[in-house]
Chain A
């Protein structure tokens, strides 16, 4: 039986717990796009932003030392660069990603979070359909 959904649910609970800690203890929205963007353009270079990104990078790095982990990302560098530019530009412009608008926004019934999430999921499904099923890419 496929139990990926169960790991998804459990992992989701862990992700939500991280967001709950960041909100209740630090009073902040958990948003990696905002953390990275703030560090990049100088809008927010607080120690908190550094700390959050450091923890997010360090945990999988530590896990990879103990259990075998690998990436399944495609190895076409042009696709990675274009995708990275779109994700970085889009999430910064929209002021949030799957975490800030999705997990943190929808859970407080934020209209902007709900609209943003419907937009990126919808756009993602359209682009996936065109690239994979109409053009035979990715």
Chain B
């Protein structure tokens, strides 16, 4: 129960941060990718800001053996740069540019994004299922 509550809390704070940062505005995200147009650097500030608490959290995690609610911390994945990582990320980047949605803001937009958010998330869920047989 606690695990679910804190997961929901993290999701809610994540949603708040996405709204505050402007990342739920697909124009801002597309503007960051548009380096030959009216470039919008906001996304770089969002990533930079998010790195600060996360980098501290990884340092704290390194000193602890277990998470507060128990269980070990996720191990660093071995540096394997296969087709799944590169091809998948390239496909993601293409869809990201096309729509301005990445998974977090897309899910957040279900709460206010009208039918566009709904259509995108439904397609995204379908895309995730298509990838399932190819995952290792």
- Chain A residues packing against B (C-beta within 8 Å): 4-30, 32-33, 36-37, 40-41, 43, 47-64, 69-75, 77, 79-95, 97-99, 101-104, 106-108, 110-112, 115-117, 119-129, 131-133, 138
Contact = CB atoms under 8 A, between A and B. Distances in A.
B81 A22 contact: no
Given A7-B42, A48-B4, A71-B112, 17 more contacts: A5-B42, A13-B49, A14-B13, A24-B57, A32-B14, A50-B4, A52-B8, A56-B11, A58-B8, A84-B123, A85-B130, A90-B89, A98-B96, A102-B47, A104-B54, A107-B50, A119-B90
B124 A95 contact: no
A90 B121 CA distance: 14
A97 to B, nearest CB: 5
A96 B88 CA distance: 9
Interface string B119-136: 111111111111110110
B11 A9 contact: no
Contacts of B97: 123-125, 127-128, 131, 138
9 smallest beta-carbon distances between A and B, as pairs = A11-B21, A12-B49, A88-B127, A84-B123, A55-B11, A86-B95, A61-B111, A123-B93, A27-B67
A84 B92 contact: no
Given A15-B18, A124-B94, A22 B33 contact: no
Size bin of chain B's contact surface: 35 or more
A112 B77 contact: yes
Interface of B: 3-28, 30, 33-37, 40-58, 60-61, 64, 66-74, 76-77, 79-81, 84-104, 106-114, 116-117, 119-132, 134-135
Interface of A is mostly: helix
A133 B36 contact: yes
Contact of A91 (B55, B81, B103, B113): B103
A92 B74 contact: no
A87 B12 contact: no
A84 B101 contact: yes
A55 B113 contact: no
With most chain A CB atoms within 10 A of its CB, the pick from B40, B80, B86 is B86
Contacts of B107: 32, 36, 53, 56-57
